[in-house]
Structure 1
Amino acid sequence: MSEVFEGYEHQYCDLSANLSRKCGSASLLSDQDQKQQEVAEIKAGLDDAEALIRKMDLEARSLQAGVKATLLAKLREYNSDLNKLKTEFTRLTSPDADHAREDLLEAGMADAHLASADQSERLTKSIERIDESSDQIRESQKVMLETVGVSILDDLHQQRETLLNSHQKKQLMEEKTNQVVLLGIWPSGACARVALALKLKGILYKYVEEDLTNKSELLLKNNPIHKKVPVLLHNDKAIAESLVILEYIEETWSHTPNILPCDPYQRAKVRFWVNYFDQKIRPAINLVFISKAEERKKAIENLNEMIKDFYEGVKKDFGEEFPYCKGKCLGLLDIVVGTNAGNYKVINDALGMEVIHTHINSQFLSWMDALREHPLVKDTLPPHDKFVAKFRGKFGPIN
């Protein structure tokens, strides 16, 4: 799901609950000045709620079909909720003719013992005029609603036709000039990081699973130097190497969410730690797998020291902005580290031991656990059991 949509959604839910409470409390106020102030605040809140729904609608329509359908269904519920709030607001601000009539009757009964016959007659006529006015108001409202309803239906029909035509044109343009293809293999963390960045940006793409024991002509043609995955194809242009691809995605689709900071110095620090992870920690993880039993203990100790230095350095450089937690947008560092070390439980189960030690790197592991809970990360990382079986099949029995 879109983080932008979720942000608007949380704002709307909080605002809706607040407006509902205010409508309830305002109806009990006897002080007219206080009531008018409360009514003004409710009116402003309804405008804000309507603006949030428009933003959610625009965001939902920019996403992939499956996600869009789910979000639009939510929007229909929020629109219904907003209409109920508007009805409650209208009831709060509009005098009720029936209540006025009852007040008038009560006043007449209270004065009946003192009023003359002439006064009683005038009172009766006043009530009749109120009834006639109420009937006229209701009839006018009915005519107005029917007229507005027909106009709205016509407008909606025209808007639907316009949107359908625009959508069809957009699809044709994307098919012709904006094709995005990712060549990869499912166990690869490098391929997963590219897929995650594309999903985060909301970019539609086609995934092609490669067989590295029998490399396709498409792969050999588009990465003739390394002959490895991942490879991104965009408008028939090939980009190889995962970090290069991630930078290309950020620069080509520069809309939010951004995976790199705007500030050049902050970007440089992110790139430094991304390179440190790829050049130091990833090889250290691989060394744990290929080491003999007597060498593995030392390899695990070295890995934990590297991860500790890495985490402390990143924490020092980015402070409160780090690490990722629920509600924040994923950055380049989250994408790179999360699609590799985020599988630490797979490594533990494949080897039958704790590789990244909790007593040394508990904060790093908490970061990984938070990343794994992100919906897009969950959707991108391979299933746990399938991944464990793959490791055991590749490296054989590990003692």
Structure 2
Amino acid sequence: MSQADELILLEWYPSPFAARVRIALAEKGLNYESRPEDLTNKSPLLLQMNPVNKQIPVLIHNGRPICESTVIVQYIDEVWNHKSPLFPSDPHQRAHSKFWADYVDKKIFGGGMQLAASKGEVKEAAKKYLIGCFETLEEELGDKPFFGGESFGYVDLVLIPCHSLFYTYESLGNLSMAEECPKIVDWAQRCLQKESVSKSLCDQQKFYAIISEISRSGSAWTSVQKFLDKLDLLQNS
């Protein structure tokens, strides 16, 4: 990054989506200014830089915004392509990586939100669904240390922020990630050996405490339900 480059990250630290961007920036060795957002009182800058979705994270590069975590990560990898490539060079492998990243967003995060928002038989069904999605990822991982092979890559970066949610999954779903998804837990531990990852993720217990607080707030929980409705549309498209 040249001296003229300015990077500002509008974020909310517990967000797994903001964590993706922090990891990508750390992998590239980029300095940036973090500006935390109050999601109940969004800043004028956030509303200006992301007027469509009004959501974090937003990366502002020399005054120009890039929105949506996966889009931001791809932008970072393309602009600063001299170090720690996140995507494979082969076009087919790149497409394959994007497919699994999309799977994580729709199935893992979507399934986790359904688990958090449901009760009774619906919650039990959501639990089985989420475990099944993780098992599918375990099949894709196979015997490789990382989803990209021998090195940490795009799919790993997109999925690893879910580690912050493991305790939440266990508490809300009455399950054990280590028992149900041992290969994913082992993979996560390998990822956490990277400083770019370990310093970018929210603590599991802290994340659970935040989710518990949100669940007690009717207005905040409404946004969760809207997110679930959006996921249903995506999955049926």
1:336 has 2:158 as partner: yes
User: Offset at 1:198?
Assistant: 0.1
Q: TM-score, normalised by structure 2?
A: 0.83
DSSP-derived class of the 1:190 partner: helix
Cα drift, residue 344 of structure 1: 4.2
Partner residue of 1:368?
Answer: 188
Distance of aligned partners of 1:355 and 1:392 in 2 relative to their CA distance in 1, 3 Å threshold: farther
Q: How does 1:110-125 map to 2 (within 5 A)?
A: none
Letter in 2 for 1:371: C
TM-score normalised per structure 1: 0.51
Aligned length: 217
Paired residues for 1:267-282 under 5 Å: 267-282=94-109
Tell me if structure 2 keeps the 8 A contact 1:197–1:249.
yes
1:395 aligned residue = 215
| Conserved 8 A contact 2:11-2:35 | yes
Check whether the contact 1:185–1:210 (CA below 8 A) recurs between aligned residues: yes
Asked if 1:235 corresponds to 2:71, the answer is: no
Query: What is the percent sequence identity of the aligned residues?
Result: 32
Q: Secondary structure at the match of 2:181?
A: helix
Contact 1:182-1:232 at 8 Å conserved across structures = yes
Cα shift readout 1:238-283 (whole Å, capped 9, x = no counterpart)? 1001111011000100112101111111111111111111112210
Q: Using a 3 Å threshold, how does the CA distance of structure 1 residues 394 and 365 change in structure 2: closer, same or farther?
A: same
Q: Which runs of 5+ in 1 are unaligned?
A: 1-169
From 136, 140, 148, the counterpart of 1:309: 136
Partner of 2:167: 346
The answer (yes or no) to whether the contact 1:350–1:391 under 8 Å persists in 2 is no
Aligned-partner Cα distance in 1 for 2:111–2:9: 27
Whether the 8 Å CA contact 1:190–1:230 is kept in 2: the answer is yes
Query: Partner amino acid for 2:59?
Result: L
* Residue type of the alignment partner of 1:336: V
Conservation of the 8 A alpha-carbon contact between 2:46 and 2:55: yes
Matched to 2:167, the amino acid is V
Following superposition, the deviation at residue 324 of structure 1 comes to: 7.4
Per-residue displacement from partner, 1:330-373 (whole Å, max 9, x unpaired)? 21111110012x124431464372264x4442112211222223
Following the alignment from structure 1 to structure 2, what is the Cα–Cα distance between the partners of residues 198 and 309?
A: 29
AA matched with 1:335: L
**Counterparts of 1:178 and 1:335, CA distance in 2:** 24
Residue 321 to residue 230, structure 1, CA distance change in 2 (3 Å): same
1:210 is aligned, of 25, 37, 40, to 37
| Bigger fraction of residues in helix | 1
Deviation per residue, 1:6-56 (Å, 9 max, x gap): xxxxxxxxxxxxxxxxxxxxxxxxxxxxxxxxxxxxxxxxxxxxxxxxxxx
Change (3 A) 1:270 1:324: closer
SS of residue paired to 1:339 = helix
Q: What are the residue-to-residue correspondences of 1:141-156 with 2, within 5 Å? A: none
Q: Looking at CA atoms only, which structure, 1 or 2, has the larger radius of gyration? A: 1
CA contact (8 A) 2:16 2:164 kept: no
Q: Deviations over 1:116-173 (max 9, x none)?
A: xxxxxxxxxxxxxxxxxxxxxxxxxxxxxxxxxxxxxxxxxxxxxxxxxxxxxx9xx6
- Asked if residue 250 in structure 1 is aligned to residue 77 in structure 2, the reply is yes
Q: What is the aligned partner in structure 2 of residue 86 from structure 1?
A: none
Query: Relative to 1, partners in 2 of residues 1:374 and 1:293: Cα closer, same or farther, differing over 3 Å?
Result: farther
Q: CA RMSD in A?
A: 2.3
Query: Partners of 2:14 and 2:66 in 1: how far apart?
Result: 20
Residues 38-187 of structure 1: pairs in structure 2 closer than 5 A: 174=3, 177-187=4-14
The answer on whether the counterparts of 2:5 and 2:61 sit within 8 Å (CA) in structure 1 is: yes
| Alpha carbons 1:347, 1:355 under 8 Å: kept | no
Higher RCO structure, 1 or 2 (CA under 8 Å, sep 6+): 2
Cα deviation per residue 1:272-320 (whole Å; 9 max; x = unaligned)?
A: 11111111221001111111133211110111112112321343xxx64
Distance in 2 of aligned mates of 1:334 and 1:211: 28
Give the gaps of 5 or more residues in structure 2.
Answer: 218-237
